[in-house]
Amino acid sequence: MRGESSVASIGMVLSAIVLAVLAACAYWTMRTQSDSLEQTRLDQLLSAGQMLAQSSERMLAAGDVTPVRRMMMDGAERFGLERLRIVLPSGDVIADNDPSRITASLDDAHWQSGGGIEQTIVNDGQNLDMRLPLTVEGFGTATLEIEAGLTPDRGTLWQAQAGIGTIGVAALLALWVVYRYFRSRLAAMGMIRESLLALGGGEQSETALAVTGHLSREAAAWNDLLQERQRYRRQAAVRQTKQQMGDRRSGNNDLASGCDAMSQGVILLDDKMRVVYANNAAAVFFATQRDQLAGQPLIDHLKDAGVADVIHDAVMGSKRTTHIHDRRTSGGAGVIRYAVRPVREGDTASALLVIEDVTQQRVAEEARHEFVAQATHELRTPLTNIRLYVESAIDEGDKDAVLRAKCLNVINQETQRLERMVNDMLSVAEIEAGTLQIQRDDVRLDRLLGDLRNDYEAQAATKEIQMQFTIPPKLPVIQGDREKLAVAVQNLLGNALKYTNDGGRVSVSVEVKEKDLVIEVTDSGIGISPEDQTHVFEKFYRARDKRISGITGSGLGLGLAREIIRLHGGDISLDSQLDHGSTFTISLPVGEQTEETATE
């Protein structure tokens, strides 16, 4: 379906991120649990060995080996030991968990007095080999040998993995539901984007550019715009001409007056490409008098040979096709469109030429194309960063906990950045459609600014920027839309950090002046030139300073911030000096119902 690609790519990236995070969690859980089980098993065996050694010494000293042998068998079964036996220095085995391996009785064994036997524990990660010295009173010394495996039960490990897998399936299902929701909301915008790209590629057919399928409000508005464009292009054509020249004084007066009122130039040509009729707008386009056009070859007034060829082909052609030819003016400042349609009256060939200045239309199209390209780049940058840091966390995170924490922090920041950009684009779309509304409620600015300070501390620390918030202990509780006010201040604070050099300073101060609450965002950044200050609040506008060419931005933030503040009854002003920083001031009215102060 048209428009699916732009939404599907986001869905696939989010799915990949979820799967990658779940895989990392599964690996880390299995590794941690395995290590924990191995350590628990090792502690168990060490404790069991000490206990068995002490019990064996007491029983053997009593001169009865039978309970010792029974203890060897029970202990091996209880603790899951591969071998549990008592060996004398001579090599005689007097007790073993496998009775067939016993080689001597207590009395017949060759005991040895004195020391020389040391405790040894060998752990190769898979098996444990432990030798514990025994001193049997009345007999001599012996060794308690213990051999056991350390590999944990895989069934226990896979229980945790099954739980993580269940959580992963639930997360993917939830992501699928969210994807379906956003796809239904953004499908029309995706199709409109593809139509804009096709229009930029030279497609002019309204049928090909129209959005089909389920029509949302955006799609319906787009199709209405295309229909209006088609009507506008068709109204430039003259529907009919009178066969007799005498009728021009009577019946054609109204038609001629209507043509003179048009902003498009209208010229009727005969088969010799001579001007039969020209309205006032046509004379203006050719910078001449209307009377000097009548009866003259049009080629004498055309400076573009390409346009003349198109008109000649239309006059002499047999197909009733409208030829459209766009040409830039000599100075390159404007675009003129020549639309030529053959007119057949019996055996006489002629053509109707409509001349139109489409400069503003082309400027609007270029602005839309630039916005689409910039928005694509803006969305791709955080997604690329997220992918790279996820890969770093997977590859190196188990070895370096600091690196893993850094990766997670960057992923969180880029996700918030991506969310802010998408919200800005949706808000701009609402502004364009005239549907942006605010939901008024009590807003505590001290908490709002505190949350923003926490959000941007990491970014400021990365650039070693000193960020200071000056907030009075008491602030009025204002009526407004907390989320949208947060967006407005975020855009100002984000711009201040973005355009301030490393080691600079950014401050946010709040003050109540009479019935207005004033928020000032001041930075020591590069500043804004006087020429750019008059345009910075326009949508899609970015300053012409060469120093910001490498800094990404869509040009939406300041325009959106001013629109939000104005919807709250306030305004934003700017005071900036090039190379000395900028100060953006937000003024919000404090109504009578909001005079109650908020204290911590």
pLDDT in tens, 523-569: 998 888 888 888 788 766 666 667 776 666 666 778 888 888 998 89
User: If DSSP states are collapsed to H, E and C, what string results for 342-379?
Assistant: EEEECCEEEEEEEEEECHHHHHHHHHHHHHHHHHHHHH
Give the span between the Cα atoms of 229 and 324, in whole angstroms. Answer: 15
**Does residue 265 sit in the same domain as residue 411?**
no
**Does residue 308 sit in the same domain as residue 390?**
no
CATH number at residue 543: 3.30.565.10
Tokens 């689409």: give the residue.
372
Whether 191 maps to a domain, the answer reads no
The pLDDT tens digits for 139-190 are 888 888 898 887 766 666 677 677 778 888 888 888 788 877 776 666 667 7
- Does 236 have pLDDT greater than 60? no
**Does residue 462 sit in the same domain as residue 593?**
yes
Alpha-carbon distance values, 315 to 217, 238, 481, 562 (Å): 43, 16, 63, 54
Band of residue 237 on the pLDDT scale cut at 50, 70, 90: very low
Band of residue 7 on the pLDDT scale cut at 50, 70, 90: low
Identify which of 183-187, 328-332, 417-421, 579-583 has the greatest average pLDDT.
Answer: 579-583
Number of domains in the chain: 4
pLDDT given for residue 139 in this prediction: 83
Whether 43 maps to a domain, the answer reads yes
Band of residue 432 on the pLDDT scale cut at 50, 70, 90: low
Band of residue 281 on the pLDDT scale cut at 50, 70, 90: confident
pLDDT given for residue 333 in this prediction: 59
**Does residue 393 sit in the same domain as residue 303?**
no
Tokens 């908490």: give the residue.
447
pLDDT given for residue 243 in this prediction: 46
Give the span between the Cα atoms of 523 and 584, in whole angstroms. Answer: 9
Band of residue 197 on the pLDDT scale cut at 50, 70, 90: confident
More confident residue, 549 or 46: 46
pLDDT given for residue 356 in this prediction: 83
**Does residue 417 sit in the same domain as residue 560?**
no
Band of residue 242 on the pLDDT scale cut at 50, 70, 90: very low
**Does residue 425 sit in the same domain as residue 525?**
no
Whether 230 maps to a domain, the answer reads no
* Runs of H (alpha helix) within 235-328: 252-260, 280-285, 290-293, 305-316
Whether 228 maps to a domain, the answer reads no
CATH number at residue 118: 3.30.450
- Does 381 have pLDDT greater than 80? no
Q: How large a percentage of the chain has pLDDT more than 70?
A: 80
For residue 352, the cross-strand partners are 268, 341
**Does residue 265 sit in the same domain as residue 380?**
no
Band of residue 320 on the pLDDT scale cut at 50, 70, 90: low
Mean pLDDT of the chain: 78
pLDDT given for residue 596 in this prediction: 40
Domain interval for residue 566: 440-598
- Does 571 have pLDDT greater than 90? yes
**Does residue 348 sit in the same domain as residue 366?**
no
**Does residue 388 sit in the same domain as residue 342?**
no
The pLDDT tens digits for 61-83 are 888 888 888 988 998 888 888 88
Give the span between the Cα atoms of 430 and 434, in whole angstroms. Answer: 6
- Does 205 have pLDDT greater than 60? yes
pLDDT given for residue 17 in this prediction: 87
**Does residue 280 sit in the same domain as residue 391?**
no
Strands (E), 137-225: 140-149
CATH number at residue 377: 1.10.287.130
Give the span between the Cα atoms of 541 and 555, in whole angstroms. Answer: 5
Element housing 250 (H / E) = none
Q: Are strands 505-513 and 466-470 parallel, antiparallel or unpaired?
A: parallel
The pLDDT tens digits for 85-109 are 888 888 888 889 888 888 888 777 7
Band of residue 594 on the pLDDT scale cut at 50, 70, 90: very low
**Does residue 33 sit in the same domain as residue 102?**
yes
Give the span between the Cα atoms of 255 and 107, in whole angstroms. Answer: 136
Whether 277 maps to a domain, the answer reads yes
CA nearest neighbour of 68 among 43, 99, 103: 99
pLDDT given for residue 328 in this prediction: 62
More confident residue, 52 or 434: 52
Q: What is the DSSP letter of 297?
A: B
Whether the pTM exceeds 0.85: the reply is no
Structure tokens at 25: 């969690």
pLDDT given for residue 314 in this prediction: 73
pLDDT given for residue 248 in this prediction: 47
**Does residue 326 sit in the same domain as residue 258?**
yes
pLDDT given for residue 586 in this prediction: 93
- Does 364 have pLDDT greater than 50? yes
More confident residue, 221 or 8: 221
For residue 360, the cross-strand partners are none
pLDDT given for residue 59 in this prediction: 87
pLDDT given for residue 455 in this prediction: 84
The pLDDT tens digits for 103-153 are 888 777 787 776 556 788 888 777 888 888 888 887 888 888 898 887 766
CATH number at residue 293: 3.30.450.20
